[in-house]
Amino acid sequence: MASAPRPERVPRLLAGCLPPPPPPPTVGLLSMEQEETYLELYLDQCAAQDDLAPPRSPLFNPVVPYGMYILNASNPDTAFNSNPEVKETSGDFSSVDLSFLPDEVTQENKDQPVISSRHETEENSESQSPQSRLPLPSEQDIGLGLNSSSLSNSHSQLHPGDTDSVQPSPEKPNSDSLSLASITPMTPMTPVSECCGIVPQLQNIVSTVNLACKLDLKKIALHAKNAEYNPKRFAAVIMRIREPRTTALIFSSGKMVCTGAKSEEQSRLAARKYARVVQKLGFPARFLDFKIQNMVGSCDVRFPIRLEGLVLTHQQFSSYEPELFPGLIYRMVKPRIVLLIFVSGKVVLTGAKERSEIYEAFENIYPILKGFKKA
């Protein structure tokens, strides 16, 4: 039943850009070519539908990477069943051009510790990278794969979205966690805090990825559109794409930095597009270790804040030098986020590796700010 995973994956692919379509009429085998065309379709639709994507993503899933939500929303049972099949099918896709899409499968994936707590953010990013190295021939923005252990691990990662009471053991890929996942409704991490309806909006995401091959920057600069290369100034190619509107720094070692995206999925998609450009120029580019390095969010509490009071009472966390910078710099310890708080009520949050950190930081600071509201 090699086909079982595919129909699941297809709606997931398209769901990235469009409202979840009805399941494909034929639950049957998809050929390799169909896979490829779906991939192309996806990329094109993403390019066309990008306006839709950003407003939807926070609604859909503010915390858990998008794919995991869909994984649960779609048939969890089938997903579970497809579990053993994936390992068989992985071999079948060797002939497909995988070079720029799937991340490497390694046996170590099974041993990767996976967290369930939303607070253990470092582990989150760590677990996401090995999970991205799974043999899925189809394009997906899902951070996880359908490997047996990772699947259940992914389910345990779904739990962060649940209320804090649910804290499943991360290591055990058991059916308990899976059934739990299928039963418990997936509650996205509540961005709507108890006290206010303000949700920080993501403004910028910086991510890195390893293309894992040496690159000839001159060749890239000559053949690629929208590429700048000035070896005397800086040893990297600066490339830009319009959709998602991002900038990438591509180094000759094969490492790449992607900035300017407004959501995690967009950052990943943009990085993949850059990787594709490099691949089309003839380099054996891969997509290893995609990691979000920094996320910046901003919001407005809509009342003026008396910063002098805040800096006095939270001295050990804040520094306020108005002649240097008009905002107060607040270094929150848990989560480790830096907030720039302005008199007007605007708040900028930076230093997050996960969306949840931004929301959590804002929830923590909001009552404090209310205490210093300037009437």
Partner 1 sequence: MVVFGTTFFNFDSFIGKTDSIEIIGKSVFLCRYHNILPLLNDSGRYSLGDARRPLHETAVLVEDVVHTQLINLLQQAAEVSQLRGARVITPEDLLFLMRKDKKKLRRLLKYMFIRDYKSKIVKGIDEDDLLEDKLSGSNNTNKRQKIAQDFLNSIDQTGELLAMFEDDEVDEVKQERMERAERQTRIMDSAQYAEFCESRQLSFSKKASKFRDWLDCSSMEIKPNVVAMEILAYLAYETVAQLVDLALLVRQDMVTKAGDPFSHAISATFIQYHNSAESTAACGVEAHSDAIQPCHIREAIRRYSHKIGPLSPFTNAYRRNGMAFLAC
Query: Nearest CA to 177 among 188, 189, 166, 187?
Result: 166
Q: Check binding of 23 to partner 1 (CB under 8 A).
A: no
* Nearer Cβ to partner 1 (70/205): 205
Chain-centroid distance, C-alpha 351: 15
Query: Contact, 64 vs 160, CB < 8 A?
Result: yes
Out of 20, 231, 322, 367, the only residue in the binding site for partner 1 (CB under 8 A) is: 322
Q: Check binding of 49 to partner 1 (CB under 8 A).
A: no
CB of 292 to partner 1, least distance (A): 13
Which span sits near partner 1 by CB under 8 A: 85-93, 137-145, 265-273, 340-348? 340-348
Amino acid at 60: F
Q: Check binding of 304 to partner 1 (CB under 8 A).
A: yes
* Nearer Cβ to partner 1 (174/294): 294
* Nearer Cβ to partner 1 (166/343): 343
- The string of DSSP letters for 177-242 reads HHHHHHHS--PPP--S-SS----PEEEEEEEEEE--S---HHHHHHHSTTEEE-TTT-SEEEEEET
CB of 48 to partner 1, least distance (A): 24
User: Judged by CB under 8 A, how many residues of this single chain contact partner 1?
Assistant: 37
Q: Check binding of 307 to partner 1 (CB under 8 A).
A: yes
At 99 the three-state DSSP class reads: coil
Amino acid at 375: A
* Nearer Cβ to partner 1 (20/322): 322
* Nearer Cβ to partner 1 (227/238): 238
Q: Check binding of 319 to partner 1 (CB under 8 A).
A: yes
Which span sits near partner 1 by CB under 8 A: 64-72, 154-162, 264-272, 307-315? 307-315
* Nearer Cβ to partner 1 (225/232): 232
Out of 21, 309, 367, 371, the only residue in the binding site for partner 1 (CB under 8 A) is: 309
Q: Check binding of 291 to partner 1 (CB under 8 A).
A: no
Query: Nearest CA to 4 among 29, 25, 21?
Result: 29
Q: Check binding of 266 to partner 1 (CB under 8 A).
A: no
CB of 132 to partner 1, least distance (A): 24
Rounded CA-CA distance 68/151 in Å is 10
| Neighbouring C-beta atoms of residue 176, cutoff 10 Å | 13
Q: Check binding of 203 to partner 1 (CB under 8 A).
A: yes
Q: Check binding of 247 to partner 1 (CB under 8 A).
A: yes
Query: Contact, 136 vs 151, CB < 8 A?
Result: no
* Nearer Cβ to partner 1 (40/308): 308
Query: Contact, 308 vs 318, CB < 8 A?
Result: no
* Nearer Cβ to partner 1 (172/245): 245
C-alpha neighbours within 13 Å on the C-beta side of residue 89: 24
Q: Check binding of 343 to partner 1 (CB under 8 A).
A: yes
Residue pointed to by tokens 């590796």:
353
| Neighbouring C-beta atoms of residue 42, cutoff 10 Å | 21
Out of 296, 332, 358, 365, the only residue in the binding site for partner 1 (CB under 8 A) is: 296
SS3 percent helix, strand, coil of the chain, rounded to 5, is 40, 20, 40
Cα angle 350, 66, 146; round to 5: 125
Q: Check binding of 321 to partner 1 (CB under 8 A).
A: yes
Out of 15, 215, 224, 236, the only residue in the binding site for partner 1 (CB under 8 A) is: 236
Rounded CA-CA distance 171/273 in Å is 34
Residues 6 or more apart in contact with residue 292 via CB below 8 angstroms: 125, 205, 206, 207, 264, 267, 353, 354
Query: Which residues contribute to the site for partner 1 (CB under 8 A)?
Result: 203-204, 206, 233-234, 236, 238, 247, 249, 259-260, 294, 296, 304, 306-309, 311-312, 315, 319, 321-326, 329, 338, 340, 343, 348, 350-351, 374-375
